[in-house]
Amino acid sequence: MISKKMNGVINGQINAELYSSYLYLSMSTWFSERSLSGFASWMRAQAQEELYHSTKMLDYLLERGGSAEFEAIDKPQCSWSSPLEVIQETADHEAKVTGLINDLVDAALAERDHATNNFLQWFVAEQVEEEASVGEVVEKMKMIGDDSAGMFAMDLEMGKRVFTLPAE
């Protein structure tokens, strides 16, 4: 049985993951409206991945005898000044999520909840991958600058990403 405290903090993270999905869907829409379909596809895959994270946490919570407490999801930003700003905000958001996951691990350790700590290690590793992936995109976007041919090539590259459910 999961403790009341861990139940609460995991519910909070479920909400944060749903917000992340909502934010990335907003970003995908922004890119679509600017005919950057590759970037839009990449962000849509991000949104799907975050939704998967929320359901993975929900399933774990229920498996441990916890209860779901769904809260309102904050409205995401809907407008940005440039593709680079969107990607930089994505990188900043992933760094914030990493902090939230680390806080969850700290809470699990404080509660001596070894099962939850073990479960959360998947998310710790996932965040390393997330930050590295978007960090690479930020650096490429900085190199491109205002070069439209570079932006076109980057859009094509970004469109190659698809979300695939991880093998459990």
Q: Is the dihedral of CA 104, 105, 107, 108 positive or negative?
A: positive
Return the SS3 of 74. Answer: coil
**DSSP secondary structure of 47-68:** HHHHHHHHHHHHHHHHHTT---
In the chain the domains, ranked by start, together with CATH numbers, are: 4-158 (1.20.1260.10)
pLDDT (tens digit per residue) in 84-138: 999 999 999 999 999 999 999 999 999 999 999 999 999 999 999 999 999 999 9
DSSP character for 81?
A: S
**Locus of tokens 């922004």:** 30
The pLDDT tens digits of the residues spanning 41-84 come to 999 999 999 999 999 999 999 999 999 999 999 999 999 999 99
Q: In terms of C-beta density within 10 A (0-12 exposed, 13-18 middle, 19 or more buried), how is residue 140 classed?
A: middle
